[in-house]
């Protein structure tokens, strides 16, 4: 019997850089409230959101991704030709096929690279970190470009009181590459598919053919169900990711959860009993909920605010439609 030769893969992985793209237009609550018969105060109380970025016609899933990716590549000090894979986490690329990742790779000048999208909604970025890390450690790729991007404004009903003030647009990208020391801890991930109807796009694309259909597909959300799941099921997952990485809460520098709602972030931090010194990302206040893009955007914001620096240890957790979740501890680039 012949022996199969495998690649050598005695190595670790790390996040080498982060780059973001924030849409140009800032939309304050005052522009949202008329359509949902609400107020600035009501939105702030329920979500912590003061304003969000909404992409214009000239800012697409692809253009935002390419801008974020270029910044991440530059900061990592590598070129697009060196990439071993492009992974795009999104639920708002408006084409069933081909993938957003292939167009991003093309625009970056790397049209030969393995490229694919993942559909894990607000957990997409952390799903991607886990996948990319394993690809690097398994030597299927030297450098992986991972993008979390959403143009949720294309799939949000501006009159839906449960979502109109929450969802927003943006892109974040990271380069994940090899490392002599562990830079990404074990990913704790899974799903709670029995609650998959808690966040749904409705109707389906096929239903759109029916003239009596409900109209354009929008993302609907059962707020209370999602809040309960996020706070009380996700806090233990986050703590499990910490334990799996061998990091004590006292040694954690930053907590960068998916920016779903500031109330969820507060309740999670309380349930986890995080020490005061941990920097908690609150980019939601000026970015809204950008699903797969929210964690890299929030990471970038923490750097801008001077609350984290390279080498710090951060806990990431993404959770969303599916319901799906993933968490890991990373060393910040």
Partner 1 sequence: MALTHNEVLAGIREIVEEVAGVSPDQIEMDKSFTDDLDVDSLSMVEVVVAAEERFGVKIPDDEVTNMATVGDAVNFIVRAAS
In this structure, are residues 102 and 137 in contact, taking their beta carbons and an 8 Å threshold? Answer: no
149 contacts partner 1 (rule: CB under 8 A) = no
Q: Which residues contact 134 (CB under 8 A, 6 or more apart)?
A: none
**What is the spatial distance between Cα 250 and Cα 230, in angstroms, rounded to a whole number?**
23
Q: Mask: binding to partner 1, 248-267, rule CB under 8 A, as x and -? A: -------------x-x---x
119 contacts partner 1 (rule: CB under 8 A) = no
**What is the spatial distance between Cα 214 and Cα 254, in angstroms, rounded to a whole number?**
43
Q: Rule CB under 8 A: choose which of 50, 139, 142, 227 binds partner 1.
A: 227
Stretch that binds partner 1, among 228-236, 279-287, 290-298, 324-332 (CB under 8 A): 228-236
Active site residue 273: no
The first and second tokens of residue 163, run together, are 């979502």
**What is the spatial distance between Cα 254 and Cα 298, in angstroms, rounded to a whole number?**
11
**What is the spatial distance between Cα 295 and Cα 91, in angstroms, rounded to a whole number?**
15
Pairing of strands 313-320, 254-257: parallel
Q: H or E element: which one contains 69?
A: helix 61-76
303 contacts partner 1 (rule: CB under 8 A) = no
Q: Which of 29, 122, 126, 261 is catalytic?
A: 122
**What is the spatial distance between Cα 220 and Cα 296, in angstroms, rounded to a whole number?**
24
Q: Select 123 or 231, whichever has its Cβ closest to partner 1.
A: 231
Minimum distance, C-beta of residue 92 to partner 1, in the bound complex (Å)? 25
Q: Is 223 helix (H, G, I), strand (E, B) or coil?
A: helix
Q: Select 70 or 263, whichever has its Cβ closest to partner 1.
A: 263
222 contacts partner 1 (rule: CB under 8 A) = yes
Q: Select 213 or 225, whichever has its Cβ closest to partner 1.
A: 225
**What is the spatial distance between Cα 79 and Cα 83, in angstroms, rounded to a whole number?**
7
104 contacts partner 1 (rule: CB under 8 A) = no
The first and second tokens of residue 314, run together, are 């951060």
207 contacts partner 1 (rule: CB under 8 A) = no
Could you tell me how many residues of this chain bind partner 1 (CB under 8 A)? 13
Stretch that binds partner 1, among 69-77, 138-146, 220-228, 278-286 (CB under 8 A): 220-228
- Interacting residues with partner 1 (CB under 8 A): 45-46, 222-225, 227-228, 231-232, 261, 263, 267
């Amino acid at each position: 019997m012949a022996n199969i030769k495998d690649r050598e893969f005695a190595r670790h992985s790390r996040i080498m850089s982060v780059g973001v793209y924030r849409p140009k237009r800032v939309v304050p609550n005052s522009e949202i409230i008329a359509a949902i018969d609400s107020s600035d105060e009501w939105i702030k109380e329920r979500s912590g959101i003061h304003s969000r970025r909404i992409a214009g016609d000239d800012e697409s899933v692809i253009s935002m991704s390419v801008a974020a990716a270029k910044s991440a590549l530059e900061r990592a000090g590598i070129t697009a030709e060196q990439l071993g894979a492009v992974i795009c986490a999104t639920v708002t690329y408006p084409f069933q096929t081909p993938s957003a990742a292939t167009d991003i790779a093309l625009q970056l000048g790397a049209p030969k690279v393995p490229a694919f999208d993942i559909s894990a909604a607000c957990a997409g970025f952390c799903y991607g970190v886990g996948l990319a890390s394993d690809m690097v450690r398994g030597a299927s790729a030297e450098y992986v470009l991972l993008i979390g991007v959403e143009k949720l404004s294309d799939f949000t009903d501006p009159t839906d009181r449960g979502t109109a003030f929450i969802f927003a647009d943006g892109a974040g990208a990271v380069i994940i590459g090899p490392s002599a020391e562990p830079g990404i801890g074990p990913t704790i991930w899974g799903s709670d598919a029995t609650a998959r109807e808690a966040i749904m796009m409705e109707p389906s694309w096929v239903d759109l053919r029916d003239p009596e259909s409900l109209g354009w597909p929008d993302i609907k959300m059962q707020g209370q169900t999602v809040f309960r799941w996020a706070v009380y099921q996700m806090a233990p997952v986050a703590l499990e990711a910490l334990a799996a990485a061998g990091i004590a809460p006292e040694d954690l520098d930053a907590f960068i959860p998916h920016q779903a709602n500031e109330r969820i972030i507060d309740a999670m931090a309380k349930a986890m009993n995080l020490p005061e010194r941990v920097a908690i990302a609150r980019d939601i206040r000026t970015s809204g909920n950008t699903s797969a893009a929210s964690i890299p955007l929030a990471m970038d914001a923490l750097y801008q605010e001077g609350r984290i620096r390279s080498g710090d240890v951060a806990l990431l957790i993404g959770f969303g439609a599916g319901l799906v979740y993933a968490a890991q501890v990373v060393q910040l680039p």
